[in-house]
Every structure is written in C-alpha cells, then in structure tokens.
Amino acid sequence: MAHLAYFDESGDPGLVNSPTKHYVLSCILVPETEWLNTLDHFVQLRGHLRNKLGASTRPELKATDIIRARGPLKGLRTSPADRVRLFGILLNRVGKMPGLKTFAIAIEKAGASGRGYDPREAAWQFALQRVDKFCAAADSRAILFPDEGHEPFIRKLTRRLRRFQTINGAFGGRLTIPMRRVIEDPNDRHSHDSYFIQAADWVAYAAHRSRYVAPSSRVPPTLWDRLGGALLLEVNRVRGGPPGLVVYP
C-alpha cells in the first residue's frame, strides 16, 4: 500500500524583508486505494460551488482567493462573512474525506534561525520525518507531490535523509534513523492542475492563521479545528502541542 503526500505552504521562508513571521508547510496524505474516491469528492465540491455561487470549476481556488474574493470568486456577490463561512465548510468537508489525513508544520523563522535552522529546511525535514513515521506505522510507503518550485530542493533533501538522518530522541540524545518509507524523487504538481494541492493550500492557510500560530482579523482563529478527524494527531504526540500542528521552536 502507498500514500500520496501533497504539500503546500503559507508565508515565505525568507528572513529579510519578509511580511510574515512564520513559514507554514502543510501535508495531505491520501491512501492510494481512496485516491479516485477523494478526487471525486473534490470534483463534487467544486461542482457544488459552481451551482450555488456560480464559481467556475476550472481556475484554482486558493485560500486567499476565498478570503479576498479573487480567482473563481471574483465578481460574485459574496460578503466577507459568506466567504469565511465557505472556507469553514470546505475545511470541514476535507476533514470528512475517507482515509484522508493532514497535518502542518509552523516554523517561527527568527526563533528557528537563532537555533541554527534554515526555516524551509526545518519545515520540510520535520514534515518528512512525520510522513516516514506515519507510513512505518501503517506499513505503507509515501510518494511526494509538492507544489511546483520546490522539487530540486526536496529531491536533494530526501536523497540525503534516506542515507543519513539524525533526530532528537524522545528521552534525550540523538538517534540515527534513515528515512526508508518515502519512495522515488518528489513529483512537482502545478496547483492550478491539482485539487489536492489546492486543498493543501487551504490547510496551510488555516494552520498559519490559527490561534496557535498567527491569528488574523480576517478569519476566525478556530478554522484549523474544522479539519476534525482528519488531523494527524501523532505528529506531536510526544512533543505536545496543538492537534495535528507542529509549532517550532
């Protein structure tokens, strides 16, 4: 069995002249046996938005499009409250898709840099560690599908982690545990061609603007909780923290 792992981000990893204090990376894990069924759920969801609001199913629908009435929502008669409600409904639907699991890594960039971590590398390494551990527990393998623009960086990182990876032990010390459950090199996906990457974007934004990271007056700080049963609680079971969300440092 295999899981398809889709990734997207919110914020940027830069430390200079950056508008955000955090870099957030999200992951959606879909079992291969549920992939087509999950795709059908997304198609039906976009069809519902077309029938209900007149929103085209073809353009990509990013989280910021929902909040700011852009993309397929541009020109439609929706109030800010309507769009926030819509975003909550979308997250709730994602949270109920069969077999789907999701989590996010939120890196406070200045704090991570102060501890010697590059924010982007820290986010991806933490995420890949958790994908690998999840697949080990499920006796599965993972194939990576990041949003376009990351492939060379992730390819280099995954190849290194397969051969050499040290992690902090739960009871102290450092452990050498090579990553064995992520197969092949990552496969970029254009977000406008993938409903899965678009959903990962919704998850990343919900994590970023949650009460646990960097709340915004534009959205309720409880949106993250709408993902409900899809949240992968194991990602911080030892370290502690918000459900399905690793906040570092």
For residue 125, give the CATH number of its domain.
Answer: 3.30.420
**Could you tell me the residue range of the domain that residue 207 belongs to?**
2-248
48-60 tens-digit pLDDT = 999 999 999 999 9
Q: Compute the distance between CA of residue 146 and CA of residue 154 in angstroms, rounded to an integer.
A: 9
Given a cut of 50, the residues of the chain with pLDDT beneath it are: none
pLDDT value at residue 149: 87
pLDDT value at residue 150: 85
153-192 tens-digit pLDDT = 999 999 999 988 766 655 555 656 789 999 999 999 999 9
pLDDT value at residue 170: 57
Number of domains in the chain: 1
pLDDT value at residue 171: 53
pLDDT value at residue 129: 94
